[in-house]
Structure 1
Amino acid sequence: MAITVHQAFALAAARWAKRPFLCVLPETAEIYGITAGELRYAEAAERIETLRAAYAAAGYGHGHRVGILLENRPAFFLHWFALNGLGVSVVPINPDMRAAELEYLIGHSEIALAIALPQRHADLLAAADRAGRPFQVMGERDTPPEAAFPAPQADTEPHELSEAALLYTSGTTGRPKGCILPNRYFLHAGNWYANIGGLATLEPGKERMITPLPLVHMNAMAYSAMAMIMTGGCLIPLDRFHPRSWWDSVRESRATVVHYLGVMPAMLMKAEASPADRDHSVRFGFGAGVDRSLHGIFEERFGFPLLEAWAMTETGAGAVIIANKEPRHIGTSCFGKEEADVLVRLVTDDGRDAGVDEQGELLVRHAGDDPRYGFLAGYLKDEAATDEAWAGGWFHTGDIVRRDAEGYLHFVDRKKNVIRRSGENIAAVEVESVLQQHALVKSVAVAAVPDPVRGDEVMALVVAEEVPADRAGMESAAVELVNWALSQLAYYKAPGYVAFVDALPLTTTNKIQRGELKALAPTLVEHTSCVNTCAMKKRQGDHK
């Protein structure tokens, strides 16, 4: 039995030697400037062992950390597995990171080396200099430079609790935290996916999984990659999601499984229906955040189920929950029920267990003797944050969830995203998902702004597909958007303000930067780009 990621791949390569491990489509190859085609398990294993020997000769070993800035290129996996075989932890670096972010990551993680795209070498070296760290950089095909310092745990062999990767949180509400992820985290994620069954059954040696998700995310690293390794499947990583060529990529790759983010189905549904919509081999999609009003329509149009799941970087598969069995309650925010190996509590603001259909913060832990099995080992250099997250022996997720009478769990929103207006709790994500469907909207974020009577009011910050030409155009567009929201949501959830902006504050992983958004929204209330639509919000029956 494998106790490291490297060992898991070696076992897969021995069993599935002639099967393809990776597939690079022509579109991805052209964008990256690499060769298109498939890489078999045996070929990948040979290249990994060559790299592992080179790193060992350069002095890299157990306890070192090495950054990887290679986007979604196949080389990412080869270097990751080679380093893992020596007990080196990898730190994926988002290519969108810039000076201050790189300085923080290099200084905080203490990486000794980065394998990076040539055009980013100077940025990384400058950031390391500012951080005052001994640091070197290399290209994916370069010979590794001699390690800048000895391996901290050189006298021990890597094992299942050894750090395999350090993944940073998105930093939506503050400085990113480094999640220490041991080998067991990845092995458990792969085994979980390989064995969950139901609508998400993976057939050994047959699956072809396509994902546009970045390799700086746990989904692509822990679920997609490890599931394929555990089942001898082929992974098809794209450089990113391209709506116009998505179905061509799915068909050309012969994908049987797709991984998605909630915004993807909404964008795909905007395309005109076609007789070719069901011309594919996909059996299911795995993801989260699909708009409830589009869920059933998407499945009917494209002919496969979107299986909504819940997990966090911190929880891994130690407490993952997925709606992989019927009934899935399509049209709601249901993400299934927990299995026997996961324990769940929903806790209200006053500390009691939430009742049926009552909202509460989701607390989770793994069942059995080790409640942290499959979770992160902790936050790097932040024991206080780790202890706070595990207060009372449960991991506090920060997500607001409700459980219905049949025991199914329904996602509401992140705790910090809930807007409280006149005693009503409004989930920002719900309003965003409705507005995102409108043709005027390219992207949107919803935040609270102070209201002297109601406590909070809803503001929508909209990046328009076509910027209104003048004030009259803004007012007309705002009215159209609010009328759309009023037709889909309770009146109090509709925006009381619509602010047209050039861009949204985003993290390096393209998530909404909620901390910045919270500070920005109140400053826009009196701005010329903001339209006050509060008068449009009336209870049903109040309209004259």
Structure 2
Amino acid sequence: MANTVHQAFSLAAVRWARQPFLCILQETADIYDIPAGELRYAEAAERVEFLRSAYAAAGYGHGHRVGVLLENRPSFFLHWFALNALGVSVVPINPDMRAAELEYLIGHSEIALAIALPHRHDDLKAAAAKAGRPLRVMGERDVPPDAPFPAPFDTEPNVLTECALLYTSGTTGRPKGCILPNRYFLHAGQWYAEIGGLAGLREGCERMITPLPLVHMNAMAYSAMAMVMTGGCLIPLDRFHPRSWWDSVRDSRATVVHYLGVMPAMLMKAAPSPADRNHTVRFGFGAGVDRTLHAPFEARFGFPLLEAWAMTETGAGAVIIANREPRQIGTSCFGKEEADVLVRIVKDDGNEAGAEEQGELLVRHAGADPRYGFLAGYLKDEAATEEAWAGGWFHTGDIVRRDAEGYLHFVDRKKNVIRRSGENIAAVEVEAVLQQHGLVKSVAVAAVPDAVRGDEVMALVVAQDKPADRAAMEAAAADLVNWTLSQLAYYKAPGYVAFVDALPLTTTNKIQRGELKALAPTLVDAPHCVNTCAMKKRQGDHK
């Protein structure tokens, strides 16, 4: 029985030595400027061992943290497994992060080393200098530099050793670092391997394609570990490309696809084709599909989209999936919990919600350890950890309802989060950056509906000097967006900038979020609102 992710991979490499572990399609290879083709388990294991020895020789060990900014490249997995063998925790770094975000992540996580693409080395060094942290930076093929400080522990890593530190978007402040032990990843892989039903995985047979980023738990914990546990082949794409998606699916011979809700919506916009069912996909695993498109998508493309619920914090300790019929397609149903997951739905008054009543979803793992499979805690924030576990249940912040047959349905997010194309965006984080601009007197950020991305970001700005005309307004809006793009990931930048005379405030000068939420959508087509969506582009991540 494996106690670490590295051990699980090593066992798989022995059993499935000649089977492909990774498949890199030509399109992905061209974008990343790497070779296309398949990497067998045995070949990957040899590379992992080479890297492990190099890191050990450089002094990295149990308790160190290492940042990884390698996008969805094969080297991400090889470095992760090699570092895990030594008890080093990896901190995936979103390639869309910019100055302010990198400074916070480096300072908060205290990473000793960053493995990054060459064109981001200077960014990381500058952020580390501002954070006051000693940081080594290397490329994916470089010899590791000596560790800047000794490994904190001299013990062997085990199932409870920190494996990764994943950051989530804070809704009322800075992003929180989720401490994820080896057990988190091992349990996620085992859960997927055993869940069965319409999501049943066949050993040594599956080929799973995912465009989801390795900085999120879905690709790291579910996709990668499910393939490791079953001897399957993972097909990571750089990201989702609607026009070439079905070519990628067909060329890779994928049997399982992982999706975000925005993907089916984009794919359904293409004209129907006789080739729509020309693929080998057995099922899709994801969340957030538009309820009105769920049934039409399955009818057109010929495979089920299995809606699931989980969080970075819960992992597979409390994952729920609609993997058995009836799935109640078109109702935002994500199934029923299995016997190893306990669920409560609690109304605002603290009482249990009845059938068809809405309330916050509270979860825990069944058995003696309610936190089994969950995060170990939030880094440097014990108070937030205990608050999340108030009363012995994890408070998810999601509003759901249970129907008369016991099926769970997603309703909405309780917290004030903007969710754009699967990314959670904290309004206060964007506000903090915009407030630094000289043009801004005060600012509030809210979500407005977007037909493709779910939500889009709107900034309501009270200017120091209100723009005199439309041309000045457009120039000011562009200046604000460019400033945000220099500090934050592109998707967090405003897609709309509305210049207003005042913000809805409480008597203590705090933003009235409820009123703001209702106001923002009414301003999209207003004369004093500028549409800046076209400016929201990735900032040269492939070089």
Does TM, normalized by the shorter one, top 0.5? yes
Kept after mapping to 2: 8 A contact 1:417/1:447: no
Kept after mapping to 2: 8 A contact 1:110/1:133: yes
Question: What secondary structure does 2:342 align onto?
Answer: strand
- Note closer, same or farther for the CA distance 1:262–1:524 as it changes in structure 2 (3 Å cut): closer
CA shift digits 1:300-344 (9 cap, x unpaired): 000000000000000000000000000000010100000000000
Question: What secondary structure does 1:285 align onto?
Answer: strand
| Aligned: 1:26 with 2:41 | no
**Cα shift at 1:133:** 0.6
In the other structure, the counterpart of 1:313 is 312
In the other structure, the counterpart of 2:257 is 258
Question: What secondary structure does 1:35 align onto?
Answer: coil
1:436 to 447, 451, 466: 451
Kept after mapping to 2: 8 A contact 1:323/1:336: yes
CA shift digits 1:111-139 (9 cap, x unpaired): 00000000000000010011111110000
Aligned ranges for residues 89-104 of structure 1 at < 5 Å?
89-104=89-104
| Aligned: 1:7 with 2:7 | yes
Q: 1:399 & 1:448 partners in 2: Cα distance?
A: 24
Q: 1:443 & 1:345 partners in 2: Cα distance?
A: 27
Question: What secondary structure does 1:276 align onto?
Answer: coil
Q: 2:158 & 2:329 partners in 1: Cα distance?
A: 42
- Note closer, same or farther for the CA distance 1:359–1:326 as it changes in structure 2 (3 Å cut): same
In the other structure, the counterpart of 1:384 is 383
| Aligned: 1:56 with 2:71 | no
Kept after mapping to 2: 8 A contact 1:308/1:334: yes
**Cα shift at 1:171:** 3.2
Aligned ranges for residues 179-258 of structure 1 at < 5 Å?
179-258=178-257
Q: 2:328 & 2:522 partners in 1: Cα distance?
A: 38
**Cα shift at 1:408:** 0.2
Q: 1:390 & 1:308 partners in 2: Cα distance?
A: 25
In the other structure, the counterpart of 1:475 is none
- Note closer, same or farther for the CA distance 1:443–1:337 as it changes in structure 2 (3 Å cut): closer
In the other structure, the counterpart of 2:67 is 67
Aligned ranges for residues 14-413 of structure 1 at < 5 Å?
14-153=14-153, 155-413=154-412
- Note closer, same or farther for the CA distance 1:333–1:448 as it changes in structure 2 (3 Å cut): farther
Q: 1:331 & 1:218 partners in 2: Cα distance?
A: 26
Kept after mapping to 2: 8 A contact 1:361/1:415: yes
Letter matched to residue 109 of structure 1: S
- Note closer, same or farther for the CA distance 1:67–1:362 as it changes in structure 2 (3 Å cut): same
Q: 1:137 & 1:113 partners in 2: Cα distance?
A: 6
- Note closer, same or farther for the CA distance 1:365–1:314 as it changes in structure 2 (3 Å cut): same
Kept after mapping to 2: 8 A contact 1:258/1:284: yes
CA shift digits 1:58-94 (9 cap, x unpaired): 0000000000000000000000000000000000000
Kept after mapping to 1: 8 A contact 2:320/2:338: yes
CA RMSD of aligned residues (A): 2.8
- Note closer, same or farther for the CA distance 1:54–1:129 as it changes in structure 2 (3 Å cut): same
Kept after mapping to 2: 8 A contact 1:447/1:521: no
Q: 1:208 & 1:12 partners in 2: Cα distance?
A: 15
Q: 1:110 & 1:123 partners in 2: Cα distance?
A: 16
Query: Runs of at least 4 residues of structure 1 off by over 3 A?
Result: 432-435, 442-449, 505-527
- Note closer, same or farther for the CA distance 1:434–1:65 as it changes in structure 2 (3 Å cut): closer
- Note closer, same or farther for the CA distance 1:355–1:195 as it changes in structure 2 (3 Å cut): same
Kept after mapping to 1: 8 A contact 2:448/2:458: no
- Note closer, same or farther for the CA distance 1:407–1:520 as it changes in structure 2 (3 Å cut): closer
Q: 1:513 & 1:190 partners in 2: Cα distance?
A: 37
Q: 1:262 & 1:523 partners in 2: Cα distance?
A: 23
CA shift digits 1:166-194 (9 cap, x unpaired): 00002354311000000000000000000
- Note closer, same or farther for the CA distance 1:346–1:523 as it changes in structure 2 (3 Å cut): closer
- Note closer, same or farther for the CA distance 1:266–1:502 as it changes in structure 2 (3 Å cut): farther
Aligned ranges for residues 514-525 of structure 1 at < 5 Å?
522=519
Question: What secondary structure does 1:416 align onto?
Answer: coil
**Cα shift at 1:528:** 1.2
Kept after mapping to 2: 8 A contact 1:170/1:511: no
Q: 1:158 & 1:513 partners in 2: Cα distance?
A: 43
- Note closer, same or farther for the CA distance 1:129–1:297 as it changes in structure 2 (3 Å cut): same
- Note closer, same or farther for the CA distance 1:185–1:517 as it changes in structure 2 (3 Å cut): farther
Letter matched to residue 65 of structure 2: R
Tell me the percent identity: 79
- Note closer, same or farther for the CA distance 1:79–1:435 as it changes in structure 2 (3 Å cut): closer
- Note closer, same or farther for the CA distance 1:82–1:447 as it changes in structure 2 (3 Å cut): same
Letter matched to residue 170 of structure 1: S
Kept after mapping to 1: 8 A contact 2:67/2:114: yes
Letter matched to residue 241 of structure 1: F
Question: What secondary structure does 1:114 align onto?
Answer: strand
- Note closer, same or farther for the CA distance 1:171–1:260 as it changes in structure 2 (3 Å cut): same
Question: What secondary structure does 2:243 align onto?
Answer: coil
Kept after mapping to 2: 8 A contact 1:181/1:377: yes
Q: 1:176 & 1:385 partners in 2: Cα distance?
A: 12
Kept after mapping to 2: 8 A contact 1:285/1:307: yes
Aligned residues: 464
Q: 1:185 & 1:107 partners in 2: Cα distance?
A: 25
Q: 1:104 & 1:170 partners in 2: Cα distance?
A: 13
Q: Which runs of 5+ in 2 are unaligned?
A: 419-446, 461-469, 471-479, 496-509, 531-543
| TM-score normalized by the length of structure 2 | 0.81
CA shift digits 1:396-448 (9 cap, x unpaired): 000000000000000001102599xxxxxxxxxxxx999616xxxx7744899
Q: 1:303 & 1:520 partners in 2: Cα distance?
A: 38
Q: Which runs of 5+ in 1 are unaligned?
A: 420-431, 450-469, 471-500, 532-544
Q: 1:87 & 1:254 partners in 2: Cα distance?
A: 35
Q: 2:42 & 2:337 partners in 1: Cα distance?
A: 37
Considering Cα pairs closer than 8 Å and 6+ residues apart, tell me whether 1 or 2 has the greater RCO: 2
Q: 1:136 & 1:521 partners in 2: Cα distance?
A: 47
